Structure 1
Amino acid sequence: MTVDDASDLPPHEEPGGRHGGQPEPEEREEPEERGGSARAHAVEEDPIALRLEHLILGSGRHYTPFQAARSAGVSMDLAARFWRAMGFADIGQARALTEADVLALRRLAGMVEAGLISESTAIQVARSTGQTTARLAEWQTDSFLEELTEPPEPGMTRGEVAYPLVELLLPELEEFLTYVWRRQLAAATSRVVRSDDEEAVDRRLAVGFADLVGFTRLTRRLEEEELGELVEAFETTAADQVAAHGGRLIKTLGDEVLFVADDAGTAAEIGIRLIETMNGDETMPALRVGMAFGTVTTRMGDVFGTTVNLASRLTSIAPRDAVLVDGELAQALVAAGEAPESEAEIAPGSEEKYRFGLQPMWRRPVRGLGVVEPWLLSRRGG
Structure 2
Amino acid sequence: MPRRRAVQYKSLPSLEEMFKMVMEAGENANNRSPTATPKIETIQKFAFLQRENKGFKKYYEPRAVSLGPIHYGKPKYQLAEKYKLILASEFIKNSSKVIDELYKKIEDNIKELRECYEEEATKDYLDKALTWILFVDGCILQYIYCATTNKFKDLNIKNDCAALGQQDLFLLENQLPYRLLKRKQERGKPSFNGIPHEQRLSMDGESEPIHLLHLLRTTLLDNLKKVNNSNPNNSKKQDWQSYRNVKDLKNAGIWLKPKTTFLNDICYNPSCFIGYLSLPKISVDNSKGQKFFNLMAFEMCPDFDSNFEITSYICFLNSLMNHADHVMELRKAGILHKVLGSDQAVAKLFNELGTNLIPNLNIYSDVRADIHKHHRTLLSRLFQFYHDYFNRPWSVPAFFGILLELV
Answer yes or no: same fold by TM over 0.5: no
TM-score normalised to structure 1 length: 0.31
Structure with the bigger RCO (C-alpha within 8 Å, sep 6+) is 2
TM-score normalised to structure 2 length: 0.29
Q: Answer 1 or 2: which has greater strand percent.
A: 1
Q: Answer 1 or 2: which has greater helix percent.
A: 2
